[in-house]
Structure 1
């Protein structure tokens, strides 16, 4: 086996591992839930390709051993990684390290190339017969021959501290890290004793930086006084080096707040900015002529400052406000503005309404806990996709009408969108409209996504109400939370409740939703749940659609990221698929597909 002409396997950000962000600091939530299908299998295959260059393969048994090693190796990082970028980075670095170590053993390799196979990954080495003594003395240091672009690409997955540690790999790398364009610094909470050494470390890194241009500056640390006084000059350094991406996340310390420096608001090279728990005071002109992405978390804002920011960002495409308060009106006239996300908006004092006006906006997301106020959409005529996944205060008798009117008013303004996402709170609000004989506007939605517990009281009626209004619907997605807890709730409820959510109910409302049934082609259920009893409300709907949808092409049950799949128990899902396959269907071409992530459970 000759490995003189190959290079170590490096997983790209969007490669075998199923994608990755620019850095671990920006990843959030359950990253495993967003991996594309078969991404882990592709990663295992890439690891096998690398191992086969190190381990002699003489037959199928050796290949099976290598496969077991690769699966176990990938599984360890998949279970322990906190982000996609961390998962990809660590696998790439381990493969790179193994390759470097194998290269270092070449000068002293024994004369025979055969060796006993072992499943200990650290013990795998390529043993090549040297042709002569001169070749052993002049062995090539491949790691030092890597182009700077590859080295800097590797650095983009690391924190600055980890990038400096790579200097042990090669003499050439000992100075390469100083030209790193990707700077990432973090200090854990409750690290006041390390504050001074942390500041010294950051100062030392920036003083030795030789990069003409900086691409990324990520900073995450407690809001200590010493750090606040130093952060201004660190940001100034990044801005003077033409920084493109900035993320500043500070943790409050004795209610001290960091005020963003004025120079940041005049950074013309800035493309992406995220600030968390910083004072976003804007008193002068904002010049963010290159800014495309803006995220503001946990900040007090006002309409004047927001207007200055938006008017000073003519090419802004994405804006996210999370747990912010004070702003009453978001008005964007820019034709570049494409997506707006309002997450857990804080209504306080006399500010009880947030008005949104963006005539060129394509996607709107209202998320999180937004108690104490309401949203009003003034001008959103270009919207294509909308997500209503927020919740207000707990339902009370005196609030029922207000909540129902709020959801209906939003749907009135969103009647033209083609993709509509609705959360469980909005579904419950719609279920309360029946007693008041209220009807929804006619919706042009073609893809409807419903989030929440399908077994919750009143939700089937809300689903029927929406289906009645979406007469052109082609795809229906249900992301349910049918967990064992909901099964207990269903089991302890009254028998009448279960009948209400059963097939009798859907047959009763058939005349109301018959127009929807004429166009529906694709139904998808995500995160089904562990017990068959918990499936009862969803199963009754699926059986009804299978028997009445004229053009239905497929029903997909996707449990690749559900809690039940992690429990290695596919039998309830297989039983659901069996029930659906044996049920009468209106469309001859209708298929039932079960997606389950583990071997031994093929698609149905």
Structure 2
């Protein structure tokens, strides 16, 4: 259907009268207040909301006041995008041309820019003039230099901004998002250190920040200081790292998540309120420099209560052995999870031992989505020695995933059971590939293991063989 037919009054078509039902009686839908009808229309795609103009006289221009506008050309294949582009551009133009003065609560725009940069900016400016509150922009195929409209950076009504575009992020000299609480930025390149600093200083009420695959060209230092920031996530990979130093001041920061190759350096300061944090290291680089960056990031997370680490964090730290005696104290840490999708974690690792020794109040220890092992060449008494204090006073629950009965994995569980003297429960998830016969065999092995805690229960779990693996089976061995 062409854009014009979505906007203009249809000719030679019988209208459906939504104000009457099939018996000719008054229909409650037609009698609803306008604000409720607009609320209903806000759940439709913009194209579908416009099509409701054919229903009756009252609905003819009702769509011109809908609070949410959603224009997405990127969901189609490249060939279809090229074919639909002229109609798409005309349609967006007409929607803004015929719109009334009502507030736009949410504006989403996903399209190729190509040679229409000024046209795209006109739409964004129009949304800002309508006091837009939530703005979602994804722009691709930016052929020339591109700058977002100046009015965007001084919006007083914007509360949420999602911005994804593969180009240099050109920033104005004056930036103040006085009401912006959520900011997600992806794929953009920051190239001016002074203006970048101005940008991250103009966020007085920011609560959530995500930096996704951004690039920091020729920037040496980036300072992020948002007094109300409570959640921050960083995703970066090898091609986006430039060795920049990030100074993050998080007085109110509660959640921190990092996933990437640590080709930039991250330092957290004043993170006294930190509750949850995760570090997923996605690099095979075992250089001393990466080890130092891991150590520095862990130091900034020392106040955390719940910490999740990938197994590569443990692996990398051993390449800077001189740092291990200076591992930070995690005095507030009560739950520690190792996400070991890449490789098994060896209990004989000195880096693992240091982390555990520096977590005196640890109550929950999980080795999730991967293997836990122990070097059989080492004597049991030499592993986890000296025994971390949490094993003697606080550690109550341990979980181990994907247990397959391997000798090294059995040895690791044996050590944990022996040295955790106040342990109340250890939960072991069997590998989905284990046969029933092997499950019975391994249950017998597990129940015979000596325990340092007389109150400890061994619980084994597994998923059934149904296609969706939705049923979880459980046995308490003791």
1:391-417 per-position Cα deviation (integer Å, ceiling 9, x unaligned)? 45633xxx3x33333323333343332
Structure 2 equivalent of residue 243 of structure 1: 132
Q: Equivalences for 1:442-591 in 2 at 5 Å?
A: 442-444=329-331, 445-453=333-341, 455-456=343-344, 461=349, 462-481=351-370, 500=375, 507-517=381-391, 518-525=393-400, 528-529=401-402, 532=404, 540-556=411-427, 580=446, 583=449, 585=451, 586-588=453-455, 590=457
Are the counterparts in 2 of residues 523 and 555 from structure 1 also a CA contact under 8 Å? Answer: yes
RMSD over equivalenced CA pairs, Å: 4.0
Question: For 1:478 and 1:169, how far apart are their aligned partners in 2?
Answer: 59
Question: For 1:268 and 1:232, how far apart are their aligned partners in 2?
Answer: 18
Matched, 1:389 2:263: no
Q: Could you tell me how far 1:367 is from its partner in structure 2? A: 1.8
Structure 1 equivalent of residue 160 of structure 2: 272
Question: For 2:56 and 2:449, how far apart are their aligned partners in 1?
Answer: 65
Alignment CA distance shift 1:204-1:378 (3 Å): same
Q: Equivalences for 1:217-366 in 2 at 5 Å?
A: 217-226=107-116, 228-253=117-142, 255-277=143-165, 278-301=167-190, 302-324=192-214, 325-326=216-217, 327-344=219-236, 352-362=243-253, 363-366=255-258
Are the counterparts in 1 of residues 339 and 367 from structure 2 also a CA contact under 8 Å? Answer: yes
Alignment CA distance shift 1:289-1:506 (3 Å): farther
Question: For 1:573 and 1:184, how far apart are their aligned partners in 2?
Answer: 53
1:487-516 per-position Cα deviation (integer Å, ceiling 9, x unaligned)? xxx9xxxxxxx76179x6665324323412
Are the counterparts in 2 of residues 356 and 379 from structure 1 also a CA contact under 8 Å? Answer: no
3-state SS in 1 of match to 2:172: coil
Question: For 1:583 and 1:157, how far apart are their aligned partners in 2?
Answer: 58
In structure 2, stretches of 5+ residues that fail to align are 1-17
In structure 1, stretches of 5+ residues that fail to align are 1-103, 108-135, 483-489, 491-497
Question: For 1:210 and 1:558, how far apart are their aligned partners in 2?
Answer: 59
Structure having the larger proportion of residues in strand: 2
Structure 2 equivalent of residue 213 of structure 1: 103
Q: Could you tell me how far 1:354 is from its partner in structure 2? A: 1.3
Q: Could you tell me how far 1:186 is from its partner in structure 2? A: 0.9
Are the counterparts in 1 of residues 374 and 409 from structure 2 also a CA contact under 8 Å? Answer: no
TM-score using structure 2 length: 0.76
1:272-326 per-position Cα deviation (integer Å, ceiling 9, x unaligned)? 1111115422232112100011122112213312222233221111222222213
Structure having the larger proportion of residues in helix: 1
Q: Could you tell me how far 1:216 is from its partner in structure 2? A: 0.7
Matched, 1:420 2:307: yes
3-state SS in 1 of match to 2:189: coil
Structure 1 equivalent of residue 23 of structure 2: 137
Are the counterparts in 1 of residues 311 and 339 from structure 2 also a CA contact under 8 Å? Answer: yes
Matched, 1:405 2:272: no
Question: For 2:195 and 2:438, how far apart are their aligned partners in 1?
Answer: 54
Number of aligned positions between the proteins: 439
Question: For 2:27 and 2:461, how far apart are their aligned partners in 1?
Answer: 50
TM-score using structure 1 length: 0.62
Q: Could you tell me how far 1:574 is from its partner in structure 2? A: 8.8
Are the counterparts in 1 of residues 136 and 163 from structure 2 also a CA contact under 8 Å? Answer: yes
Alignment CA distance shift 1:513-1:222 (3 Å): farther
Q: Could you tell me how far 1:169 is from its partner in structure 2? A: 8.1
Question: For 1:280 and 1:447, how far apart are their aligned partners in 2?
Answer: 39
Question: For 2:198 and 2:321, how far apart are their aligned partners in 1?
Answer: 44
Q: Could you tell me how far 1:429 is from its partner in structure 2? A: 0.8
Q: Could you tell me how far 1:238 is from its partner in structure 2? A: 0.9
Question: For 2:56 and 2:336, how far apart are their aligned partners in 1?
Answer: 55
Matched, 1:441 2:441: no
